[in-house]
Structure 1
Amino acid sequence: MNARTALLSAGYGIRCAGRAEAGAVAALLARAFADDPVMAWLVPGPADREQRMARWFRCAQRQQRPRTGGVRVAATGDGRLLGAALWSAPGRWRTSAVRELAAMPSYVRVFGPGGLGRAAEVQNTMHEAHPDVPHWYLPTLGCDPVVQGAGVGSALVRQQLAACDRLGQPAYLESSKATNVPFYEGLGFRVTGEIRLPGDGPTLWPMWREADPATGSATGSAAGAPPPYGG
């Protein structure tokens, strides 16, 4: 039995991440984004990129923590993390100026003093393209490379989309890889354009999903409730 089969055969469930898991979530997301074009562009230098990316994802989690259910994980019964998703509820996607200021030392360690300007430009560009209509926002989704393609990521997304359908609320994300667009299209998202990052940076594909009332009415569990452990 290989590692992938062993992990999946144990079954997994989706739940909110505990604060004590922040480091494990950050390490998992750093591995998941190892070949991400935007992260590679923002965090050059392969020698310490994974370490710096992990620091970035710890910071991203801190920004999400005030939001109920902001950090969710797919995990086996014994606590092994298989995937993670960061979600922001309608009207809660923008980080406050106070939290941005508090995070500045972490940003310097991630991007370096010379890279802060580029990171700020990227953030501003993405904010300008962000929809004004209230929606659920998925800024980050990643799975352990060992289980990528096994349905863990789609399970993480579908858990919230089921709640969106029940509540009649849309969802939004930006795909940083063209190869990931069909994955999100399979979950009901559609590409609404392109976001070209400044300074000859990579392209992002903003994607929008309207709620499906027919699907929502057929699902009876409480909004946002994680499913039980199971394969």
Structure 2
Amino acid sequence: MGIRRATEADRPTLIRLLEEAFEADPVTRWVFPEADNRQKLSGLFFGVFADVALAEGRVDLLEDGTAMALWLQEEAGLPEEDETPARMRAVSDPDNERTELVGRLTGAVHPHDRAHEYLLMIAVSPDHQGQGLGRKLIESVLERCDRDGVPAYLEASSARSKRLYERLGFDFTGTTVDLPDGPHMWPMWREPQAH
């Protein structure tokens, strides 16, 4: 199965994948604790991530539409004020401060001392999870990172995903993102590896 770069025309597929893949995710359930709200609003919330990656980064999509990865190339140095968390709240659920807080808390621990590839999100359709599709999407970028000497970064939103990323060479940075009365997220860094 080939990987292609997604375009704006793929946006509905990207949002569907994100909704399906993250419906049971601990962080998504913390952001939208009520099932009705989650079903109604999570697509708007995830749409902001898709829009940012389509406009400022890269979205890798399996040709059959079963998995995708959102990547951003982060430069070294402190970024300008990130308006994305406020946009997540404004677009999805203005009365729900958690829609903004999750972005503010992850942004506060994001390393900025070196340029790196940032895996913003990865989504695999639930019917296709456990088949190595996410790994295939990640490895295609990590191979380039290794070749070019570029580190990579992400936040794992579950203990299960943390274990997967550890197998790919990512290391926990040592400080969790602790969502108030909610789950932990694990910031993870991967140095380029020689082959």
In the superposition, the TM-score normalised over structure 1's length comes to 0.76
Q: Any stretches of 5+ residues in structure 2 without a counterpart?
A: none
The aligned residue for residue 188 of structure 1 is: 169
Equivalent residue runs for 1:11-26 within 5 Å: 12-26=1-15
Q: Any stretches of 5+ residues in structure 1 without a counterpart?
A: 1-11, 215-231
Give the Cα–Cα distance (whole angstroms) in 1 for the partners of residues 84 and 170 of structure 2.
29
The aligned residue for residue 89 of structure 2 is: 107
User: What amino acid sits opposite 2:62 in the alignment?
Assistant: A
The aligned residue for residue 68 of structure 2 is: 84
Q: Does 1:129 align with 2:109?
A: yes
Q: Once superposed, which parts of structure 1, at least 4 consecutive aligned residues long, lie more than 6 Å away?
A: none
- Once the two structures are TM-superposed, the CA of residue 164 in structure 1 deviates from its matched residue by 0.2
What are the superposed Cα offsets for residues 144-175 of structure 1, whole Å, 9 maximum, x if unpaired?
00110001000000010011011100001110
The aligned residue for residue 74 of structure 1 is: 62
Alignment partner of 1:56 out of 45, 56, 81: 45
Give the Cα–Cα distance (whole angstroms) in 2 for the partners of residues 182 and 98 of structure 1.
29
Give the Cα–Cα distance (whole angstroms) in 2 for the partners of residues 98 and 126 of structure 1.
12
The aligned residue for residue 137 of structure 2 is: 156
Distance 1:67 1:183, change over 3 A: same
The aligned residue for residue 142 of structure 1 is: 123
Number of aligned positions between the proteins = 193
User: What amino acid sits opposite 1:122 in the alignment?
Assistant: V
Distance 1:87 1:98, change over 3 A: closer
Give the Cα–Cα distance (whole angstroms) in 2 for the partners of residues 122 and 114 of structure 1.
14
Alignment partner of 1:32 out of 13, 21, 25: 21
Q: Which has the higher contact order (CA 8 A, sep 6+)?
A: 1
Q: Does 1:46 align with 2:35?
A: yes
Alignment partner of 1:168 out of 144, 149, 154: 149
- Once the two structures are TM-superposed, the CA of residue 44 in structure 1 deviates from its matched residue by 2.2
Give the Cα–Cα distance (whole angstroms) in 2 for the partners of residues 46 and 144 of structure 1.
19
User: What amino acid sits opposite 2:52 in the alignment?
Assistant: Q
Contact 2:84 2:103 in 1 (8 A): no
Aligned-residue RMSD, C-alpha: 2.3
Equivalent residue runs for 1:193-212 within 5 Å: 193-212=174-193
In the superposition, the TM-score normalised over structure 2's length comes to 0.88
